[in-house]
Amino acid sequence: MQRFSLDEISQMEQRYRAAFINSLSGFKSANLVGTQSAQGVHNLALVSSVFHLGASPALMGMIIRPHTVRRDTLENIMQTGFYTINHVNALMVAAAHQTSARYDANISEFDEVGLSPQLEADFPAPYVLESHIKIGLRLEQIQPIAINQTELLIGAVEQVIIDDETIIKADGYVDIEAVNSVAISSLDGYHSTQSHGRFHYAKANVKPSKLID
């Protein structure tokens, strides 16, 4: 067993600490964020910080560090007000990871990594054709996180595109494992999943049981 105190964590070498601390929250979602600049250049960025914020209204959160490689994404979202979130699946892991390289603002990551923009007439940001679960969002607000100068982007879900409708179950659950969506660990680990089943809504006087195995 190993314990780390606040002092020991503070004294870790910077990149070591980044890998270590990024591991601690557990598995992260793996999404590609698609945007378009005012000049019409498509941008695609791997983001592991997308999270569920609420179902009614349908909202998704995303943490952006303004002083990193993600700047094009943030600027495009602020200029156009729209972006897409596209699940990374097992077949696109290498291409998705490669979008995190520092490409110039006038270069489309779609072209560079070999993914295809999917343009919808009624939505002003590119989806990823190869992704099986795609969400179109309108920027609702940007909430600064003063403590570490990051930004919480809150997006309202405007459109959802699901390739294979059979993964949507009768109660609304979407079987994201069935389309090979992956999870991320730390900064650079990618993982497919294997289900333990779904559990019934928990009640205080009833033993836990599986809804679906």
- To its own copies, the closest distance from the beta carbon of 51 in angstroms equals 5
- To its own copies, the closest distance from the beta carbon of 164 in angstroms equals 8
Q: Which residues pair with 156 in a beta bridge?
A: 59, 138
CA-nearest of 160, 102, 103, 94 to 132 is: 160
If the CB atoms of residues 37 and 53 are measured against its own copies, the closer one turns out to be 53
In whole angstroms, give the CA distance from residue 122 to residue 68.
31
- To its own copies, the closest distance from the beta carbon of 43 in angstroms equals 14
User: Roughly how many angstroms between the first and final C-alpha of the chain, as a whole number?
Assistant: 34
Residue reference for tokens 């990823």: 128
Residue pair 127/86 in contact (Cβ under 8 Å)? The answer is: yes
Q: Count other Cβ atoms within 10 Å, centred on residue 92.
A: 24
Query: Using the rule CB under 8 A, is 20 a contact of its own copies?
Result: yes
Among 37, 75, 98, 142, binds its own copies (CB under 8 A): 98
Among 44, 64, 85, 115, binds its own copies (CB under 8 A): 85
CA angle 17, 95, 69 (to 5 degrees): 45
- To its own copies, the closest distance from the beta carbon of 76 in angstroms equals 18
Assign 3-class secondary structure to 39-101: CCCEEEEEECCEEEEEECCEEEEEEECCCCCCHHHHHHHHHHCEEEEEECEHHHHHHHHHCCC
**CA neighbours closer than 13 Å in the CB half-sphere of residue 96:** 30
If the CB atoms of residues 39 and 209 are measured against its own copies, the closer one turns out to be 209
Query: Using the rule CB under 8 A, is 5 a contact of its own copies?
Result: yes
Query: Using the rule CB under 8 A, is 192 a contact of its own copies?
Result: yes
Among 34, 84, 87, 117, binds its own copies (CB under 8 A): 87
Query: Using the rule CB under 8 A, is 31 a contact of its own copies?
Result: yes
Among 11, 51, 68, 78, binds its own copies (CB under 8 A): 51
123-162: contacts with its own copies (CB under 8 A): 133, 135, 140-141, 143, 145, 147-148, 150, 152, 154, 157-162
Among 39, 121, 207, 213, binds its own copies (CB under 8 A): 207
- To its own copies, the closest distance from the beta carbon of 3 in angstroms equals 5
